[in-house]
Amino acid sequence: MTVVLDLQGVTSGYGEVRVLESVSLEVRAGSITALVGSNGAGKTTLMRSIAGLLPLATGRILLDGIDIGPAPPHRRVELGLALVPEGRLIFPDFTVEENLNIGAIVRHARPKRQRRIEEMYELFPRLRERRSQAGGTLSGGEQQMLALARGMMAGPRLLLLDEPSLGLAPIVVEQLFDVIPRIRETGVTVFIVEQDVRSSLELADTAYVMENGRIVQTGPAANLLDDPSIKEAYLGL
């Protein structure tokens, strides 16, 4: 299986504060890959580094074999990478449809904008009902659906999901996690960062465990779900 995302010895952080230390991992085409760990482990820092929002101190980030480390964020989107950030960050004063249109700002996505909006309404029927409503008036779950759909509007090859369940009710989380395999079925590879370890491992093909900015464990997600050390540390078993 082709490697879509290849991180090689990535070290990054905020100014002189190093958060990530020599992180290496692979995300394979057509997979759902999860990165799990406790709050403060460095997961969001890694996502921001991949998206180009934080500079690398050392290491390389390859997207389909292309070193995107020096590339600005907009160029990474053009190359097929889209980030759905922690906290959703939709445009609250814009309608649902205006938010979706903004997601298709990159050149290759513009000609397919209307067709893709209809595809997002098929994937998230609630958004069709709310299409003329301001994003800021949506429920938390609806805003997360909108953030996911907006990321998909760019026509990504790789979709990065940063803590999509954060602050949502369990029933809404379940609905969101039901959608992610359907996103994969459209041909999009998914790399998800989550504190909800059980749900992530049940969803993913492959998983990485991060502690203190380092990858400490990796393997098939089902195997990690059965691992006694994971059960004790993250599942309270």
Task: Could you list the beta-strand ranges (E) of the chain.
Answer: 3-14, 17-28, 32-36, 56-63, 66-67, 81-84, 158-162, 189-194, 206-211, 214-220
The reported pLDDT for the residue numbered 58 is 96
The DSSP output letter for 92 is: T
The DSSP output letter for 90 is: -
The reported pLDDT for the residue numbered 233 is 82
Cα–Cα distance for residue pair 107/199, rounded to 1 Å? 35
Can you name the residues that pair with 7 across neighbouring β-strands?
25, 61
Which residue type is seen at 190? V
What's the whole-model pTM score? 0.91
3-state helix, strand, coil in the chain (%, to 5): 40, 30, 30
Distance from chain centroid for Cα 235 = 22
Three-class secondary structure assignment of 198-230: HHHHHHCCEEEEEECCEEEEEEEHHHHHCCHHH
Joined tokens for residue 106: 């990159």
The reported pLDDT for the residue numbered 102 is 87
Assigned superfamily of 1-80+156-237: P-loop containing nucleotide triphosphate hydrolases (3.40.50.300)
Joined tokens for residue 235: 């599942």
Q: What is the CA radius of gyration of the chain?
A: 17
The reported pLDDT for the residue numbered 169 is 84
The reported pLDDT for the residue numbered 236 is 65
According to CATH, where is 3.40.50.300 located in the chain?
1-80+156-237
Cα–Cα distance for residue pair 211/95, rounded to 1 Å? 39
Can you name the residues that pair with 25 across neighbouring β-strands?
7
The reported pLDDT for the residue numbered 237 is 47
pLDDT in tens, the chain (237 residues): 799 999 999 999 998 899 999 999 999 999 999 999 888 899 999 999 999 999 999 999 999 999 999 999 999 999 999 999 887 788 999 999 999 998 888 888 788 888 899 999 999 999 999 999 999 999 988 999 999 999 999 899 999 999 988 888 888 888 889 999 999 999 999 999 988 888 899 999 999 999 999 999 999 999 999 999 888 888 764
Joined tokens for residue 56: 């690398």
Task: Could you list the beta-strand ranges (E) of 78-205.
Answer: 81-84, 158-162, 189-194
Residue 30 main-chain phi, psi, to 5 deg: 80, 5
